[in-house]
Amino acid sequence: MIYHVRHQTIVRYASPVRLARFNLRLRPAPWTGQWTSDYALTVDPLPSAIESRPGAWPVNVARLVIENPIRQLTIESRFRAGVDNGPQISPQSDDPTIATVAQAALLDRDMGPSAPAHYLYASPRAPLLAPIGDWVGDMLAPDRPIVAAALDLTRRIQAEFAYEPGATDASTPVADAFAARHGVCQDFAHVMVVALRLAGLPAAYVSGYLRTLPPPGRPRLIGADAMHAWVMLWCGPTRGWIGFDPTNGVITHDGHLFVAMGRDYADVAPMDGLFVGGAGQSLRVMVDVAPEEEAALS
């Protein structure tokens, strides 16, 4: 599948902002099974400086410096991407067990951005909470095949947690979302990451895009898509990294577009930073993920 992606963010300030520094993580990092071309970043008003660099994890960072007073900032990211993950991944009879993968992760000496060692332990937004381990129970028992066990956990989160936009925000602790059993994709991904790490498994938080399909007979709404979050689980040296989407209860495939991977949301947040001045702000985000044949007609 080939997609055209447009992501627009409009920030409005209640009073002029005199100085601002922002980090953007909107340009897809390289990932197996996906390619990206024609990336373009537009910022209005034009910043004093834009510095692009790779992050410590599989993530690209653009740092904006704004030194003139502004009341509004518009950021637009566009790119073309192709996804070719091959056949849909499913559990296999010869998959390694959870214990085997946990041991292999401890022995792996790779220290690159996607090395399993980086994703084994607690991180600022994904503390290892005992109640999540108690809730999982034997679902992640050491002798279980890893892909089947992770898919069961993915489906359990989808079944037991209510998707409620607005019930949480980017700052909601994973403990609160877990206790309330509701939230959005970010919360569900954090719960799954914590559960997997408690079992000794390398689990990463992924930010990206998900192709959304309109109801039968209805046109696809332009700009109605949003950034999505899911989990990457290292399933041993043979299986490698496999994506699991607990919001939808599925293993990821060609409808999921990878942008960045980190230990938790803080590592891959689409936008963060600081500003001086302004008594408040409002944020509007519009995302459109269109298959190439539809984009050509629009």
Range 201-206 average pLDDT: 98
The number of beta carbons lying within 10 Å of the beta carbon of residue 108 is 16
Tens-digit pLDDT profile for residues 18-45: 888 999 999 999 999 999 999 999 999 9
Report pLDDT for 223.
62
| Cβ neighbours of residue 143 closer than 8 Å, sequence gap 6 or more | 97, 98, 99
Report pLDDT for 279.
67
Sign of the C-alpha dihedral, residues 9, 164, 193, 238? Answer: negative
| Cβ neighbours of residue 66 closer than 8 Å, sequence gap 6 or more | 17, 19, 20, 21, 22, 45, 47, 48, 73, 275
| pLDDT tier, 232 (very low <50, low <70, confident <90, very high otherwise) | very high
Tens-digit pLDDT profile for residues 234-245: 999 999 999 999
Tens-digit pLDDT profile for residues 98-116: 999 999 999 999 999 999 9
Task: Indicate the residue type of 72.
Answer: Q
Report pLDDT for 103.
98
Question: Which comes out higher in pLDDT, residue 280 or 166?
Answer: 166
**DSSP 3-state of 267:** helix
Report pLDDT for 216.
83
Tokens of residue 93, six digits: 């009879």
| pLDDT tier, 219 (very low <50, low <70, confident <90, very high otherwise) | confident
Burial of 123 (0-12, 13-18, 19+ CB in 10 A): buried
Report pLDDT for 222.
66
The number of beta carbons lying within 10 Å of the beta carbon of residue 46 is 11
Range 52-58 average pLDDT: 93
Statement: residue 131 has pLDDT above 80: yes
Range 290-297 average pLDDT: 74
Per mean pLDDT, which range of 56-70, 133-147, 250-264, 278-292 is the poorest?
278-292
The number of beta carbons lying within 10 Å of the beta carbon of residue 24 is 23
Statement: residue 298 has pLDDT above 60: no
Strands 182-183 and 162-163: parallel
Q: Are 154 and 192 in contact (CB under 8 A)?
A: yes
Rg value, the chain, Cα: 20
Report pLDDT for 254.
92
